[in-house]
Chains A and B, each alone.
Chain A
């Protein structure tokens, strides 16, 4: 028999099935949404939680890492809202439009919805679902079991539309914060529609308490119109025991410019999965990711960049700094479709291991179906250079400070990719905080 034998369901899988059965009637959306959710859950249930024999999840075995299903977080009460007020502090003091998503629910009264720029509309995902808008269906990410689970259980989030031609100077900051001390699960779904020629900077930060082993499954779907320009910055600094799984799906139009930046420092288990399609001719995408990990953290960035149109360009740079017994995973796959001639794609993954027990798994792949392309990838993994460290110490710089300088230089290449000075400086100081924490 060659049919795959499914292992016995895990406690977490059984728990998720029970959870879905219990809450499906109460989830936002009408009957067509409910049908989409059921379909999605069936897709999840058929595969179960992904494990190490699933290629895309090779290094992040959720059957092992997720022990149980948590109950859905309850909508934030007054105390939760008060607790959430100071979240997103990494960009405090900068002129950004803060939108708060507390325990998985969009909270308008904590959000800055005043003086929206012309062409910008912001709504809660529950509202869009109530109006039976097609918020949930996914494209490239649709076959992923965890993204399917998000579709099935998505509660709230934010739906942003930016009209064609609107140039939005003030960044929008989605502040995701978990306040609940009792471990809970949050499934958020957000969506950004950026019209032709529009431009925006969208920031996401994710944080929560260190004491609770809460679970976040967040998904964001982005549609970048032709000649539009998007900077997306995502900072994952969840609590020390948290599970954080984020799915990003983006479709990038002709001659559009998309810059993705990711920075991960927090969470016990983090998976950032990105599905990018360069759908229009001459589109440009860059992905810069940095993970700074310590303790027993596990952070996985898995990236698919699909060049589906001619003359598109992509650059992917992944850097991981891994201390103690932590593990960084990078899987990057660049595919070039048959019609996508003159594709220019380059991917680089580098890991810096700060301890003997630290691990990095880097797996870049190219899948090319066109003949006139320029594609390349490379990976390096190594320790801090002792010679360089000695040179710095011989000038009077203490060991930890010398290491910090070298680590800063290593990560700097990624942070330098953030175009705006104010955001870049905020990220630099976040990195420095992490380095100080090592001392």
Chain B
């Protein structure tokens, strides 16, 4: 069986500085992988390199997404193939209404996949239903994307986008940061609803707390740009107890 995501010896640098140092990771359909690690380990860098953010230079390794060369694709192509990154810091886009953005994104992906575009009322209905599940005020959908949204609202909005776009691989970059316990529960419930046999997830987090709600199959420790340890969900609890100090020194 082809892996959903297969990263082999990935090396990447930005502004001449090497951040990823030969990273290996395989995610199969139906699996949830947690990636934990100290600040600055390269977790966000990994998520950006996977989604195709400009500015990174790939200096080694390969990445296959459903058997296809992911690194050769433009960011929009990767998205249409089913890769979704929930940003650690979702951006504000003044002048672009949230709903317009959602409709444009959904139909752009559908078009690229040769599927029929959805009418505005159809999109609106889907978005409304999801907004309700995620306790998002429908009025927010009329506002410019993320502008004036609280941290929690932005994260819920990311989750809404993910649910609407129905990706094959969800990469969640510190979706828990800045959320209070209620918001965390709402977001985690939203993510859990997306668990499916044909969908994989990479949940990047600094804290074990999120993993009480989104229970992973595999936990990895990322340090200095490499996966340095892999285990079951109990590894997360272990890390909570011991901290990242041992991995930091290992990396240094």
Q: Which A residues contact B (CB, under 8 angstroms)?
A: 386-388, 390-399, 401-402, 405-406, 408-410, 412-413
A392, A396, A401: residue with the most chain B Cβ atoms closer than 10 Å: A396
- Return chain A residues, CB-CB under 8 Å to B100: 405
Task: Enumerate chain A residues within 8 angstroms of B85, measured Cβ to Cβ.
Answer: 394
Within 8 A of A (CB), among B82-114: 85, 87, 90-91, 93-96, 100-101, 104-106, 108-109, 112
Chain A at the B interface: SS class = helix
B80, A396: Cβ atoms closer than 8 Å: yes
Q: Does B76 contact A (CB under 8 A)?
A: yes
Nearest CB of A to B85, in Å: 6
Which residues of chain A come closer than 8 Å to B91, judged between CB atoms?
387-388, 391
Instruction: Give every chain A residue within 8 A of B52 (Cβ-Cβ).
Output: 390, 393-394
Question: A406's contact among B51, B93, B165, by CB below 8 Å, is which?
Answer: B93
Partner of B96, one of A387, A394, A399, A406: A406
B107 to A: closest C-beta gap in Å: 9
Task: Say which residue of B76, B93, B94, B144 sits within 8 Å of A393 (CB atoms).
Answer: B76
- For B105, list chain A residues within 8 Å (CB): 392, 395-397
Name the A residues within 8 Å of B144 (CB-CB).
409
Instruction: Find chain A residues with CB under 8 A from B79 CB.
Output: 393-396
Q: Which residues on the B side are within 8 Å of A410 (C-beta)?
A: 95
B76 / chain A contacts, CB cutoff of 8 Å: 393-399, 402
B21 at the interface (CB under 8 A from A): no
Asked if B209 is an interface residue, CB under 8 A from chain A, the answer is no
Partner of B93, one of A386, A391, A399: A391
B98, chain A: closest CB distance, angstroms? 12
- A393 adjacent to B74 (CB under 8 Å): yes
Interface size, chain B (Cβ < 8 Å): 29
The answer to whether B190 has its CB under 8 Å from any CB of chain A is: no
Asked if B121 lies at the interface with its beta carbon under 8 angstroms from chain A, I say no
Q: Is the CB of A399 within 8 A of B74?
A: yes
Whole-angstrom distance between the Cβ of A415 and the nearest chain B Cβ:
10
CB pair A395 B165 closer than 8 Å: yes
**A413 to chain B: which residues have CB within 8 Å?**
95
- With both chains docked as a complex, state the minimum distance between the C-beta of B75 and any C-beta of chain A, in angstroms: 4
Decide if B54 touches A390 in the complex (CB within 8 Å): yes
Chain B contacts for A409, CB-based, 8 A: 93-96, 144
Measured in the bound complex, the distance between the Cα atoms of B51 and A386 in whole Å is 14
Contact status B95-A393, CB under 8 Å: no
Task: Provide the bound-state CA to CA distance between A395 and B101, in Å.
Answer: 9
Q: Measured between alpha carbons, how far is A395 from B98 in the docked complex, in Å?
A: 13
B159 at the interface (CB under 8 A from A): no
A322–chain B nearest beta-carbon distance, Å: 18
- Judged by a CB distance under 8 angstroms, whether B45 is at the interface is no
- Cα separation A405 to B74 with both chains bound (whole Å): 18
CA distance A322 to B52 in the complex (A): 27
A395 — nearest CB in chain B belongs to which residue?
B105
Q: Does B53 count as interface, using CB distance less than 8 angstroms?
A: yes
Contact of B95 with A408 in the complex, beta carbons under 8 Å: yes
Kindly provide the distance from the CB of A267 to the nearest chain B CB, expressed in whole angstroms: 27
Contacts of A392 in B (CB 8 A): 93, 101, 105
Q: Which one, B54, B80, B101, contacts A405 given CB within 8 A? A: B101
Q: Is B161 an interface residue (CB 8 A)?
A: yes
Check A390–B75 contact: CB distance below 8 A. Answer: yes
How far is A212 from B145 in the complex, measured between Cα atoms in Å?
44
In addition to A393-B79, A397-B108, A409-B144, 7 A-B residue pairs with Cβ atoms within 8 Å of each other are A388-B91, A391-B93, A394-B87, A395-B79, A397-B105, A402-B76, A409-B95
Give the distance in Å from the alpha carbon of A61 to the alpha carbon of B144 in the complex.
Answer: 41
A390 touches B112 (CB 8 A): no
The A-contacting residues of B in range 156-170, CB under 8 angstroms, are: 161, 165
**In the complex, A426→B100 CA distance in Å?**
19
A388 CB contact (under 8 Å) in B93, B108, B161: B93
Decide if B95 touches A396 in the complex (CB within 8 Å). Answer: no
Which residues of chain B are within 8 angstroms of A397 by Cβ–Cβ distance? 76, 104-105, 108
Which residue in chain A gives the minimum CB-CB distance to B55? A386
Q: B residues within 8 A CB of A405?
A: 96, 100-101, 104
B95 touches A401 (CB 8 A): no
Q: Which of B75, B106, B108, B161 contacts A401 (CB 8 A)?
A: B108
Task: Tell me the residues in window 122-179 of chain B with beta carbons closer than 8 Å to chain A beta carbons.
Answer: 144, 161, 165
Contacts of A401 in B (CB 8 A): 104, 108
Chain A residues near B80 (CB, 8 Å)?
A: 396
Which residues of A have CB within 8 Å of B109? 395-396
| Among all A-B residue pairs, the 8 with the closest Cβ atoms | A409-B95, A396-B79, A396-B109, A395-B105, A393-B75, A393-B76, A391-B91, A396-B108
